């Protein structure tokens, strides 16, 4: 009877050091390849959400305009405005007028559509002054329709038909972080562009369409009459 060699198998209860190092290296390479793509997708999602928020805010502003002889909102109105008008920044005017509803609890009105998700993520504890809604980050173009705190609302309100090219004039934008990063202003303008670490500012033009632009390309000055920067910030005969 023939004798056949018997193979003996030894149980292996783990990996060798070389195998472990190989797996770790593969995982590290995959992570390095995937993380930038994941971050890009996340940032694009935040930008899309901010654009959607701005469309809703613009719609609320349009309702305000329809109810007020087609006048645009002022970035700020003070205590001397006409009887029955909302006081404070433009966000507060929309809320008090019923065009946007308040949300939140504990005295924190955190209306979601009034802020950029990118800016909120970067500065979660920043407020916009002591007027509601807190945590709003959007700012209105003060060059277009700014009014001082102690001036009547009729001093600065204008109608849309006075704009020469509404599709070229900024209306509301992701906001400017003031005073060493302590709060977002309720207005934007020359020299106070949006603050986003991704370097892109999202905004809505006066005709309602959304724009995006590298922050360094926001005009630093109003510019000469009828120039591109003049149309961007002002765009009307005052």
What's residue 86's pLDDT? Answer: 46
DSSP H or E run through 187: strand 187-188
What's residue 102's pLDDT? Answer: 58
Contact 117, 173 (CB under 8 A): no
- Where the chain has pLDDT below 70, the residues are 1-14, 76-88, 102-110, 122-135, 145-157, 179-183, 237-238
Give 189's strand partners. Answer: 192
Peptide bond into 133 cis (omega under 30): yes
Give the burial string for 174-185 (b: 16+ CB within 10 Å, else e): bbbbbeeeebbb
What's residue 217's pLDDT? Answer: 93
Q: What φ, ψ does residue 57 adopt, rounded to 5°?
A: -65, -40
Quick count: other Cβ atoms within 10 Å of Cβ 13?
5
Distance between the two ends of the chain, CA-based, in angstroms?
114
Quick count: other Cβ atoms within 10 Å of Cβ 68?
15
Instruction: Say which DSSP state 82 is in.
Output: P
Total number of residues shown for the chain? 238
CB-count burial class (<10 Å; 0-12, 13-18, 19+) for 66: exposed
Three-state secondary-structure class, residue 186: coil
Cα separation of 77 and 92, whole Å?
10
Contact 103, 109 (CB under 8 A): yes
Give the burial string for 111-146 (b: 16+ CB within 10 Å, else e): bbbbbbbbbbebbeebbbbebbbbbbbbbbbbbbbb
Give the burial string for 32-63 (b: 16+ CB within 10 Å, else e): eeeeeeeeeeebeebbebbbebbeebbebbee
What's residue 161's pLDDT? Answer: 79
């Amino acid at each position: 009877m023939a004798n056949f060699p018997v193979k003996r198998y030894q149980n292996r209860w783990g990996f060798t050091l070389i195998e472990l190092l190989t797996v770790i290296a593969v995982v590290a390479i995959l992570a390095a390849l995937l993380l930038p793509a994941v971050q890009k997708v996340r940032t694009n999602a935040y930008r899309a959400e901010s654009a959607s928020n701005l469309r809703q805010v613009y719609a609320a502003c349009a309702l305000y305009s329809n109810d007020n002889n087609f006048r645009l909102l002022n970035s700020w109105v003070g205590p001397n405005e006409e009887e029955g008008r909302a006081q404070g920044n433009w966000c507060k005017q929309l809320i008090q007028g019923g065009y946007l509803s308040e949300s939140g609890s504990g005295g924190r009105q955190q209306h979601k559509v009034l802020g950029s998700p990118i800016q909120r993520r970067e500065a979660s504890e920043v407020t916009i002054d002591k007027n509601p809604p807190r945590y709003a980050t959007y700012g209105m173009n003060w060059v277009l329709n700014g009014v001082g705190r102690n001036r009547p609302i009729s001093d600065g309100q204008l109608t849309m038909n006075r704009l020469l090219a509404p599709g070229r004039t900024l209306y509301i934008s992701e906001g400017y972080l003031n005073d060493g990063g302590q709060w977002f202003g309720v207005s934007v303008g020359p020299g106070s562009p949006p603050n986003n670490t991704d370097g892109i500012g999202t905004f809505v033009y006066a005709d309602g369409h959304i724009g995006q632009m590298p922050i360094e390309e926001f005009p630093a000055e109003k510019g000469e009459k009828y120039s591109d920067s003049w149309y961007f910030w002002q765009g009307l005969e005052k």
